[in-house]
Amino acid sequence: MAEGDYESVLCVKPEVHVYKIPPRATNRGYRAADWKLDQPDWTGRLRITAKGNIAYIKLEDRNSGELFAQSPVDQFPGIAVESVVDSSRYFVIRIEDGNGRRAFIGIGFVDRGDAFDFNVGLQDHFKWVKQQSELAKQAQNPDSGPKLDLGFKEGQTIKLSIGNVRKKENSTKPRPAGSGIGLLPPPPGAKAPILLPPPGSQGILDQVTQQPMQSPTAELLEGFGSPNPSLPLATHAATTDLWGDFATAPSSATSQVAQSANWVQF
Protein backbone atom coordinates (compact mmCIF):
# COMPACT_ATOMS: atom_id res chain seq x y z
CA MET A 1 0.00 0.00 0.00
CA ALA A 2 1.41 3.37 -1.02
CA GLU A 3 1.92 6.23 1.41
CA GLY A 4 -0.85 8.29 -0.22
CA ASP A 5 -3.43 5.53 0.45
CA TYR A 6 -3.40 6.10 4.20
CA GLU A 7 -6.08 8.35 5.61
CA SER A 8 -5.40 10.08 8.94
CA VAL A 9 -7.88 11.90 11.16
CA LEU A 10 -6.93 15.50 12.00
CA CYS A 11 -9.94 16.72 13.95
CA VAL A 12 -13.36 15.52 15.12
CA LYS A 13 -16.16 17.77 16.42
CA PRO A 14 -19.44 16.18 17.61
CA GLU A 15 -21.73 19.06 16.63
CA VAL A 16 -21.74 21.45 13.72
CA HIS A 17 -24.56 23.43 12.08
CA VAL A 18 -24.99 23.76 8.32
CA TYR A 19 -26.65 26.77 6.61
CA LYS A 20 -27.75 27.62 3.12
CA ILE A 21 -26.15 30.93 2.27
CA PRO A 22 -27.23 33.57 -0.23
CA PRO A 23 -24.94 34.45 -3.14
CA ARG A 24 -22.20 36.87 -2.27
CA ALA A 25 -23.12 40.29 -3.58
CA THR A 26 -19.74 41.97 -3.18
CA ASN A 27 -16.10 40.94 -2.86
CA ARG A 28 -15.89 42.09 0.77
CA GLY A 29 -16.47 38.60 2.14
CA TYR A 30 -19.26 36.56 3.70
CA ARG A 31 -21.24 37.75 6.71
CA ALA A 32 -22.80 35.28 9.16
CA ALA A 33 -25.36 37.91 10.13
CA ASP A 34 -27.03 37.42 6.72
CA TRP A 35 -27.79 33.79 7.54
CA LYS A 36 -30.66 32.41 9.60
CA LEU A 37 -28.42 31.35 12.49
CA ASP A 38 -31.32 30.22 14.70
CA GLN A 39 -32.65 27.91 11.96
CA PRO A 40 -29.80 25.65 10.74
CA ASP A 41 -30.60 23.47 7.71
CA TRP A 42 -28.71 20.47 9.05
CA THR A 43 -26.87 19.48 12.26
CA GLY A 44 -24.39 16.64 12.57
CA ARG A 45 -20.76 15.67 13.18
CA LEU A 46 -17.69 17.20 11.52
CA ARG A 47 -14.54 15.22 10.80
CA ILE A 48 -11.32 16.40 9.10
CA THR A 49 -9.19 13.72 7.47
CA ALA A 50 -6.03 13.83 5.35
CA LYS A 51 -4.98 11.59 2.50
CA GLY A 52 -1.68 12.58 0.99
CA ASN A 53 -1.56 16.35 0.58
CA ILE A 54 -5.34 16.77 0.44
CA ALA A 55 -7.48 17.43 3.51
CA TYR A 56 -11.18 16.50 3.55
CA ILE A 57 -13.88 18.20 5.61
CA LYS A 58 -16.58 15.58 6.09
CA LEU A 59 -20.08 16.24 7.41
CA GLU A 60 -21.53 13.01 8.79
CA ASP A 61 -24.62 11.86 10.62
CA ARG A 62 -23.82 11.84 14.33
CA ASN A 63 -25.55 8.51 14.91
CA SER A 64 -25.02 6.38 11.79
CA GLY A 65 -21.88 8.08 10.44
CA GLU A 66 -23.45 8.40 6.98
CA LEU A 67 -21.76 11.00 4.83
CA PHE A 68 -23.86 14.08 4.21
CA ALA A 69 -21.31 16.16 2.24
CA GLN A 70 -17.56 16.64 2.01
CA SER A 71 -15.21 19.39 0.93
CA PRO A 72 -11.76 18.55 -0.50
CA VAL A 73 -9.20 21.18 0.53
CA ASP A 74 -5.96 21.50 -1.44
CA GLN A 75 -4.67 24.67 0.24
CA PHE A 76 -5.46 26.75 3.29
CA PRO A 77 -6.38 29.53 3.43
CA GLY A 78 -7.96 29.28 0.01
CA ILE A 79 -11.20 29.24 -1.88
CA ALA A 80 -12.27 25.88 -0.43
CA VAL A 81 -12.49 27.29 3.15
CA GLU A 82 -13.11 30.94 4.03
CA SER A 83 -13.77 32.68 7.34
CA VAL A 84 -16.65 35.11 7.63
CA VAL A 85 -15.85 38.75 8.34
CA ASP A 86 -18.11 39.21 11.36
CA SER A 87 -17.47 36.10 13.53
CA SER A 88 -14.75 33.56 14.38
CA ARG A 89 -17.21 30.64 14.80
CA TYR A 90 -18.56 30.51 11.21
CA PHE A 91 -16.95 29.47 7.92
CA VAL A 92 -17.93 28.99 4.28
CA ILE A 93 -16.81 25.74 2.65
CA ARG A 94 -17.06 24.45 -0.90
CA ILE A 95 -18.61 20.97 -1.12
CA GLU A 96 -18.40 18.52 -4.02
CA ASP A 97 -20.51 15.50 -4.84
CA GLY A 98 -17.93 13.62 -6.91
CA ASN A 99 -19.78 14.24 -10.19
CA GLY A 100 -18.33 17.68 -10.80
CA ARG A 101 -21.09 19.62 -9.02
CA ARG A 102 -20.02 22.16 -6.40
CA ALA A 103 -21.83 24.38 -3.92
CA PHE A 104 -20.96 26.78 -1.11
CA ILE A 105 -22.53 26.28 2.30
CA GLY A 106 -22.01 27.84 5.68
CA ILE A 107 -20.99 25.95 8.83
CA GLY A 108 -20.90 27.14 12.41
CA PHE A 109 -19.86 25.89 15.87
CA VAL A 110 -21.64 26.59 19.13
CA ASP A 111 -18.37 26.55 21.07
CA ARG A 112 -15.64 29.01 20.05
CA GLY A 113 -12.99 26.43 21.06
CA ASP A 114 -14.34 23.99 18.44
CA ALA A 115 -13.94 26.65 15.77
CA PHE A 116 -10.35 27.23 16.92
CA ASP A 117 -9.54 23.50 16.70
CA PHE A 118 -11.05 23.34 13.21
CA ASN A 119 -8.85 26.19 12.06
CA VAL A 120 -5.65 24.85 13.67
CA GLY A 121 -6.20 21.34 12.31
CA LEU A 122 -6.15 22.63 8.73
CA GLN A 123 -3.18 24.93 9.39
CA ASP A 124 -1.03 22.13 10.83
CA HIS A 125 -1.74 19.82 7.91
CA PHE A 126 -0.73 22.31 5.23
CA LYS A 127 2.30 23.37 7.23
CA TRP A 128 3.40 19.75 7.08
CA VAL A 129 2.70 19.65 3.34
CA LYS A 130 4.96 22.68 2.84
CA GLN A 131 7.80 21.10 4.81
CA GLN A 132 7.57 17.88 2.81
CA SER A 133 7.72 19.84 -0.42
CA GLU A 134 10.86 21.70 0.65
CA LEU A 135 12.57 18.48 1.72
CA ALA A 136 11.77 16.89 -1.63
CA LYS A 137 13.31 19.86 -3.48
CA GLN A 138 16.47 19.68 -1.40
CA ALA A 139 16.79 15.95 -2.07
CA GLN A 140 16.57 16.52 -5.82
CA ASN A 141 19.01 19.48 -5.82
CA PRO A 142 21.39 19.09 -2.86
CA ASP A 143 23.67 21.88 -4.18
CA SER A 144 20.86 24.42 -4.32
CA GLY A 145 20.96 25.18 -0.59
CA PRO A 146 23.04 27.97 0.94
CA LYS A 147 26.75 27.17 1.18
CA LEU A 148 28.95 28.03 4.11
CA ASP A 149 31.91 30.13 3.00
CA LEU A 150 34.90 29.38 5.24
CA GLY A 151 37.53 31.05 3.05
CA PHE A 152 39.54 34.10 4.07
CA LYS A 153 38.41 37.44 2.74
CA GLU A 154 40.85 39.81 1.09
CA GLY A 155 43.16 41.31 3.70
CA GLN A 156 41.85 39.07 6.47
CA THR A 157 44.46 37.51 8.75
CA ILE A 158 44.46 35.10 11.64
CA LYS A 159 46.62 35.20 14.78
CA LEU A 160 47.69 32.08 16.64
CA SER A 161 48.93 32.19 20.23
CA ILE A 162 51.19 29.22 21.06
CA GLY A 163 52.43 29.03 24.64
CA ASN A 164 55.72 27.67 26.07
CA VAL A 165 57.60 28.14 22.79
CA ARG A 166 60.54 29.92 24.46
CA LYS A 167 60.82 27.24 27.11
CA LYS A 168 60.97 24.49 24.51
CA GLU A 169 63.62 26.35 22.52
CA ASN A 170 65.84 26.68 25.62
CA SER A 171 65.41 23.00 26.44
CA THR A 172 66.50 21.91 22.96
CA LYS A 173 69.57 24.19 22.78
CA PRO A 174 72.75 21.98 22.42
CA ARG A 175 75.31 22.07 25.24
CA PRO A 176 79.08 22.42 24.64
CA ALA A 177 80.96 19.19 24.14
CA GLY A 178 82.35 17.72 27.36
CA SER A 179 80.37 20.01 29.62
CA GLY A 180 78.27 17.19 31.10
CA ILE A 181 75.95 18.28 33.86
CA GLY A 182 77.14 21.80 34.51
CA LEU A 183 77.95 23.00 38.07
CA LEU A 184 78.25 26.67 38.87
CA PRO A 185 81.80 27.73 39.97
CA PRO A 186 82.19 28.82 43.62
CA PRO A 187 82.21 32.56 44.32
CA PRO A 188 85.58 34.33 44.84
CA GLY A 189 87.14 33.63 48.26
CA ALA A 190 84.87 30.69 49.01
CA LYS A 191 86.17 27.22 49.76
CA ALA A 192 85.94 24.75 46.97
CA PRO A 193 83.25 22.13 47.56
CA ILE A 194 84.36 18.70 48.62
CA LEU A 195 83.47 16.32 45.85
CA LEU A 196 83.45 12.58 46.16
CA PRO A 197 86.06 10.92 44.01
CA PRO A 198 84.91 8.94 41.04
CA PRO A 199 84.91 5.14 41.13
CA GLY A 200 88.40 3.63 40.89
CA SER A 201 90.17 6.39 42.82
CA GLN A 202 90.04 4.64 46.23
CA GLY A 203 93.85 4.29 46.34
CA ILE A 204 94.36 8.04 46.07
CA LEU A 205 91.83 8.59 48.87
CA ASP A 206 93.70 6.13 51.13
CA GLN A 207 97.00 7.99 50.56
CA VAL A 208 95.41 11.27 51.50
CA THR A 209 93.87 9.71 54.64
CA GLN A 210 97.16 8.11 55.81
CA GLN A 211 99.10 11.42 55.88
CA PRO A 212 99.54 12.68 59.48
CA MET A 213 97.59 15.78 60.32
CA GLN A 214 99.39 18.58 62.14
CA SER A 215 97.82 19.72 65.39
CA PRO A 216 96.73 23.33 65.87
CA THR A 217 99.30 23.75 68.71
CA ALA A 218 102.14 22.75 66.44
CA GLU A 219 100.96 25.27 63.83
CA LEU A 220 100.82 27.96 66.53
CA LEU A 221 104.38 27.26 67.81
CA GLU A 222 105.80 26.77 64.34
CA GLY A 223 106.16 30.49 63.80
CA PHE A 224 108.55 30.92 66.76
CA GLY A 225 111.36 29.01 65.02
CA SER A 226 114.11 27.01 66.80
CA PRO A 227 114.89 27.73 70.47
CA ASN A 228 117.64 30.29 71.25
CA PRO A 229 120.85 28.45 72.39
CA SER A 230 121.88 31.38 74.63
CA LEU A 231 118.92 30.86 76.94
CA PRO A 232 119.23 28.47 79.89
CA LEU A 233 117.81 24.99 79.56
CA ALA A 234 115.00 25.66 82.01
CA THR A 235 114.00 28.76 80.12
CA HIS A 236 114.11 26.82 76.88
CA ALA A 237 111.94 24.09 78.37
CA ALA A 238 109.46 26.61 79.67
CA THR A 239 109.35 28.23 76.29
CA THR A 240 108.76 25.01 74.47
CA ASP A 241 106.21 23.68 76.97
CA LEU A 242 103.62 26.45 77.14
CA TRP A 243 100.83 24.03 78.10
CA GLY A 244 102.74 22.25 80.88
CA ASP A 245 100.60 23.66 83.63
CA PHE A 246 97.52 22.27 81.98
CA ALA A 247 98.92 18.83 81.20
CA THR A 248 97.40 17.11 84.20
CA ALA A 249 94.60 17.94 86.50
CA PRO A 250 94.38 16.95 90.18
CA SER A 251 92.50 13.71 90.65
CA SER A 252 89.07 13.69 92.13
CA ALA A 253 90.25 11.55 95.07
CA THR A 254 92.86 14.14 96.21
CA SER A 255 90.29 16.90 96.03
CA GLN A 256 87.88 14.94 98.13
CA VAL A 257 90.59 14.30 100.86
CA ALA A 258 91.52 17.97 100.96
CA GLN A 259 87.96 18.98 101.37
CA SER A 260 87.16 16.35 103.98
CA ALA A 261 89.86 17.79 106.34
CA ASN A 262 87.82 20.93 106.80
CA TRP A 263 84.49 19.18 107.47
CA VAL A 264 83.07 19.10 110.95
CA GLN A 265 81.33 15.85 111.75
CA PHE A 266 78.23 15.98 113.96
Cβ density class 180-212: b for 16+ within 10 Å, e for less: eeeeeeeeeeeeeeeeeeeeeeeeeeeeeeeee
Distance CA 73, CA 80 (A): 6
As a whole number of angstroms, the distance between CA 118 and CA 10 comes to 9
Query: What pLDDT is recorded for position 157?
Result: 83
- pLDDT for 186 equals 61
* 127 residue type, one letter: K
Question: Given this model, what pLDDT does residue 219 score?
Answer: 52
Phi/psi region, residue 165 (left: phi>0; alpha: psi -120 to 50; beta: rest), is alpha
Backbone torsions φ then ψ of 105, nearest 5 degrees: -130, 160
Q: Quick one: pLDDT at residue 236?
A: 47
For the chain (266 residues), the mean pLDDT of every run of 10, in chain order, is 73 95 82 91 95 94 92 91 93 90 94 94 93 84 66 79 63 54 59 59 52 52 50 48 52 49 51
So what's the pLDDT on residue 266? 46
- Which amino acid does the sequence have at 17? H
For domain 3-140, the CATH architecture is: Roll (2.30)
Per-residue confidence (pLDDT) for residue 151, from 0 to 100: 75
How far is Cα of residue 128 from the mean position of the Cα atoms in its chain? 35
Rg (CA), the chain: 61
